[in-house]
């Protein structure tokens, strides 16, 4: 455990500067977007109600109140989220290949440490999940800040005081990365964890067998996806509908995901101990 924690701390420190730079870019752009749309809305209200041409009630009858949901669908809010998602996906690959491409082949030093090689695997996996969950947590904090800013600048008569929970639920984009229910959170991030483990295993296939390892890695990733999709595909092909109840489907899919994770971890352990070349 001590060696694992040291490796985890090492992985976090290696990416922390770039990670915080990414966070600064994401939330700076979002904050600018929030202010831009607030002042654009206030200017529009002023133009429409200037000189008493329209009362607030008449304005709202023809237009819309302003709230968090108005910000969620803007490019200035969504593109930074996309940047963060793409950045973390790329890091899933970078966290391994950086060690092989570093000066003096740094992976050699890692593999020679007096600890289980799987601690390297678990440390990299934990670092990625911590970065993902930290990003989600900070996004929630900033949603609270955005809501407060809207309350400060938008008069209550023109404001849609939708709660953060309801605003997230009504946004298909945010509801994906910030599930409103705890069960949905575990399902979403459990699948994400399984996907990262499968990608790690595919990378180790490539590192173990070089060019032919690319094929092995791709085949393994495709096999894992097909296995996960199989219950749904079989039901649709045979019955043209979902034959199993929702609870039965959930149990079956959970068992498959756990099986994929176990097989991937055992395969990765074998590759790290016996096949990975430096």
Cα separation, 176 vs 102, in Å, equals 35
Integer distance in angstroms from the first to the last C-alpha of the chain?
25
Residue with structure tokens 């509801």? Answer: 175
In DSSP terms, which residues pair with 66 in a beta bridge? 159
Residue-averaged pLDDT of the chain: 86
**pLDDT (mean) for 203-211:** 89
Question: What share of the chain has pLDDT > 70, as a percent?
Answer: 93
* pLDDT value at residue 243: 65
Alpha helix segments (H runs only) across the chain:
2-49, 56-62, 68-72, 75-101, 106-111, 117-153, 164-169, 174-177, 182-239, 246-270
Note the pLDDT tens digit of each residue in 115-150: 888 998 999 999 999 999 999 889 889 999 999 999
Cα separation, 77 vs 27, in Å, equals 9
**pLDDT (mean) for 3-28:** 90
* pLDDT value at residue 146: 92
What's the whole-model pTM score?
0.88
**CA-only gyration radius of the chain, Å:** 24
**pLDDT (mean) for 231-257:** 75
Note the pLDDT tens digit of each residue in 73-123: 888 888 998 998 899 999 999 888 888 876 666 777 777 878 888 998 999
* pLDDT value at residue 91: 92
- How far from 207 is each of 98, 124, 158, 188, 195, CA to CA, in Å? 12, 16, 58, 29, 18
Question: What share of the chain has pLDDT > 90, as a percent?
Answer: 38
Question: If DSSP codes are grouped into helix, strand and coil, which group holds residue 104?
Answer: coil
- Classify residue 95 as exposed, middle or buried by CB count within 10 Å of its CB (0-12, 13-18, 19+): buried
In DSSP terms, which residues pair with 159 in a beta bridge? 66
CB of 187 closer than 8 Å to CB of 87 = no
């Amino acid at each position: 455990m001590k060696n694992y924690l040291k490796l985890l701390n090492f992985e976090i420190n290696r990416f922390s500067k770039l990670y915080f730079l990414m966070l600064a870019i994401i939330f700076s752009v979002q904050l600018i977007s929030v202010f831009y749309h607030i002042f654009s809305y206030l200017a529009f209200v002023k133009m429409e109600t200037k000189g008493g041409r329209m009362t607030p009630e008449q304005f709202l009858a023809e237009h819309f109140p302003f709230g968090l949901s108005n910000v969620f669908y803007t490019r200035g809010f969504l593109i930074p989220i996309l940047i963060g998602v793409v950045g973390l996906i790329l890091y899933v690959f970078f966290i391994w290949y950086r060690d092989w491409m570093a000066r003096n082949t740094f992976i050699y030093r890692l593999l020679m440490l007096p600890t289980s090689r799987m601690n390297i695997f678990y440390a990299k996996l934990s670092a990625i999940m911590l970065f993902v969950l930290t990003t989600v947590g900070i996004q929630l904090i900033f949603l609270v800040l955005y809501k407060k800013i809207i309350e400060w600048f938008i008069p209550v008569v023109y404001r849609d005081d939708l709660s953060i929970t309801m605003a997230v639920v009504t946004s298909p984009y945010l509801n994906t990365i910030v599930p409103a229910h705890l069960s949905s959170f575990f399902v979403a991030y459990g699948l994400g964890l399984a996907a990262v483990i499968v990608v790690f295993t595919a990378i180790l296939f490539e590192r173990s067998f070089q060019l032919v390892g690319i094929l092995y890695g791709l085949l393994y990733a495709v096999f894992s996806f097909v296995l996960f999709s199989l219950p749904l595909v079989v039901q649709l092909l045979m019955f043209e509908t979902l034959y199993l109840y929702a609870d039965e489907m959930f149990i079956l899919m959970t068992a498959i995901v756990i099986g994929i994770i176990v097989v991937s971890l055992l395969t990765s352990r074998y590759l790290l101990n016996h096949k990975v070349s430096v």
